[in-house]
């Protein structure tokens, strides 16, 4: 059984509501949100942005690449982050 932790109040750079995205638990207190689309099914915008949520504090941060760098690349259905963020997914 997986424990669920409810985030009482969110703060920081909160992403827009979306669908078709991925959300991955990293460790026990961080969720990474990538991509998706904003809007509704009749008129929507595809996104390629990435956000990180610290579920212990409810704080969202937008993850951005270093100047001239790539944020991530696809490798065998996994993302590898190439930025100065506080975590790496492999």
Structure tokens at 15: 């992403």
Predicted local confidence at residue 13, as pLDDT: 94
Predicted local confidence at residue 37, as pLDDT: 92
Q: Binning pLDDT at 50, 70 and 90, where does residue 6 land?
A: confident
Quote the DSSP letter at residue 15: P
Looking only at the bridges linking them, the beta strands covering 59-63 and 11-12 are: parallel
Instruction: Calculate the alpha carbon distances from 6 to 3, 43, 75 in Å.
Output: 10, 31, 31
The predicted-structure confidence for 57-85, as pLDDT tens digits, reads as follows 999 999 987 776 665 554 444 444 444 44
Q: Please, which residues have CB within 8 angstroms of residue 61's CB and are 6 or more apart in sequence?
A: 12, 13, 51, 52, 54
Closest Cα to residue 38, out of 49, 47, 29?
47
The predicted-structure confidence for 39-49, as pLDDT tens digits, reads as follows 987 899 999 89
Predicted local confidence at residue 81, as pLDDT: 46
């Amino acid at each position: 059984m997986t424990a669920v932790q409810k985030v009482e109040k969110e703060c920081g750079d909160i992403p827009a509501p979306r669908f078709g995205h991925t959300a991955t638990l990293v460790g026990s207190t961080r969720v990474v949100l990538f991509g998706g689309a904003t809007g509704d099914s009749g008129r929507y915008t595809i996104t390629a942005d990435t956000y990180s949520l610290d579920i212990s504090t409810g704080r969202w941060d937008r993850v951005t690449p270093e100047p001239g760098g790539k944020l991530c690349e696809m490798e065998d259905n996994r993302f590898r982050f190439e930025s100065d963020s506080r975590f790496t997914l492999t």
